[in-house]
Chain A
Amino acid sequence: MSEHQTSLNFRENAAAAVQNDSLRAAMRNAADTFGTRRTAAFSAIPDLEALRDKASEIRLKVLDNLPAYLEEFSSNATRAGATVHRAGDAAAAREMILALLKERGVRMAAKGKSMISEEIGLNAHLQAAGIEVVETDLGEYIIQLEGETPSHIIVPAIHKNRQQVGKLFAERLGVPYSEDPQVLTKIARKVMREKFLTADAGISGANFAIAQSGSLVLFTNEGNGRMVTSVPPLHIAIISVEKILPRLADLPTFIRLLPRSATGQAITSYLSLITGTRKEGEATGARELHLVILDNGRTEILAGECREMLKCIRCGACMNVCPVYRTVGGHAYGWTYPGPMGMVLTTLLTGMKQSYPLVDASTLCGACVEVCPVRIPLVPLILKLREQKVREGLSDTKERLGMRFFGAAVKTPELFYWGERVSRLFWPLIRTLGGKDVAGRLPEPTGRPFHRRVP
């Protein structure tokens, strides 16, 4: 189910990333920039805590009534001219979309950024069937040219510096080398314009889906999202079930939180509200709109103890402040979603057996909890997943045995203090066995522990 997941190699991936200087520099730049911008953006919001409470409340209301809202959304979308499809899993979604494109003889599809499409491995599936898929978001376009996957859910090419992008464009597009982002952006504008105007179909995601009106909501900056969803005659949108918001009146809360949390903008350049297909008398809108609503394990998650993860609105704020993500970048996590939300969501969606190293990828520092606009309890969720990992017997044997001893020792002072004495006695051996990067970082245990000196 999980497309090309390499999360089991997290430690190796991370170790390699730690040594990658250009990656580290790019991630440092990103984290510092995001931090500054987010702080500045939220300084304009008088009561941020109340806003986060409201957002969390709305998202919980959706989760508590999801089937009803989905029904309301589907029926309103259908009434407005859309065709709604429900896809149980990634394979079903891929097949559905491929069938729609093939039936209409689509040769080239222009694509807006969609993390769900990454989750289901859509591009590879369509390309294998002979359909050209052009990523139109600049960041996605860059990584498509490079043959990579996104390393951040908002800024997919954040791991690349301008020199790397300049070189890529020069090599793959045959343009003179430039590392000026303004110049590179204009090159992309020129290349993409032709694609938008000649694409047989547009494929997009959506940030939210409004149950009350059956509308898709897209927050975009570049304009490609608008192009892809309104210029080609056929628009296919793929969203996951939990993207629903109940009412149009709920949008302002998220408009105030999402762009600020994601990029530090007060609002994105474009907010598109797409409701069905082109109606009588209109000159804008796709003639055909197919909405694929994907489950892919979410109903199951909703019934479990980690359901609050589904409140996520994909802002990326958590990864922007995560010390681990900052150090290793997004690819190390081995799947679609990186950072704190990625650790949890990946494990929930693809299963503990495919993901368990990810649950250790946190120091539990809590920086993510501080910034999540919808108050997802990420640290408690990570702890729950760690408990699950231990229950399922996926912990390292040495660790399990060590914990067993620890568990006995903490209840039995004599055993605990004996352990202290033995550690000190065998310290040189422990140091050697434990390695310089683990045991080597601890000081030598004292000959007179505090419990023996305190009066």
Chain B
Amino acid sequence: MNREETIALFLEKAALAAAGARRVAGAAEMAAAVSELVAADLAVYCPALSELERAAAAVLVRRVSGYRDAEVSVEEVLAGIAETGSIVCASVEGRAVQASLLPSYHLALLLAEKIYPTLDDFFQSLRGALPTNIAVITGPSRTADIELTLAIGVHGPERLDVIVIS
């Protein structure tokens, strides 16, 4: 699978898991997409640690400092896995993995070159001492506990969007 196919598979699988998945070229297009997706009146948490996050933060109107009070969390994620359409968050660089868990809307920024083709590729990449928390996230939270009827949005985010930047 080449890079283009990997990205295409990622987008397809993410969408199947009820995640909004789109692709943009470059930080400017990404910022435009963020601006479109995040309503101006929502309280947004964005750690602004990476270059991409800083570009996103620039277009966010109502930023809050803590993810616990945020309705939206905008952050760059560590990696993606095309096979399942998953994003990966981890407790590296002082990042709070709960930022992808507590707010009701999680907007993930993912560099295309960080998408692993398969689960094997991702798990084989884990070397040395692992960070305390690695979360492989596929779509928003959900349950089928009542009559096996799917309900999206339980304790974790009710909405997940992924912007793939290539």
| Interface residues of A, Cβ cutoff 8 Å to B | 26, 29-30, 33-34, 79-81, 136-139, 142, 155-158, 160-162, 165, 181-182, 184-186, 188-189, 192-193, 196-197, 213, 215, 221-224, 226-227, 230-231, 248-249, 251-252, 255-256, 263, 266-279, 281-285
Contact = CB atoms under 8 A, between A and B. Distances in A.
B146 A157 contact: yes
B98 A269 contact: no
A283 B96 contact: yes
Contacts of B138: 266-271
Contacts of A276: 132
Contact of B133 (A138, A142, A161, A285): A285
A215, A223, A251 pick with most chain B CB within 10 angstroms: A223
Contact of B120 (A139, A193, A231, A252): A252
A249 B118 CA distance: 12
A186 B141 CA distance: 12
A230 B151 contact: no
B112 interface: no
B72 to A, nearest CB: 16
* Overall SS of chain B's interface: loop
A270 B123 contact: no
B94 A282 contact: yes
B53 to A, nearest CB: 15
A400 to B, nearest CB: 43
A222 B137 contact: no
Contact of A271 (B17, B120, B136): B136
Interface of B: 13, 16-17, 68, 84, 86, 91-92, 94-98, 101, 118-120, 123-124, 126, 129-149, 151, 153-157
What are the 8 A-B residue pairs with the smallest beta carbon separation, nearest first?
A223-B156, A285-B132, A139-B145, A252-B119, A223-B155, A284-B91, A222-B154, A271-B136
Contacts of A157: 145-146
Given A184-B151, A197-B68, A284-B95, 10 more contacts: A80-B130, A136-B155, A155-B148, A181-B151, A222-B156, A223-B141, A230-B133, A271-B86, A271-B135, A283-B95
A136 to B, nearest CB: 7
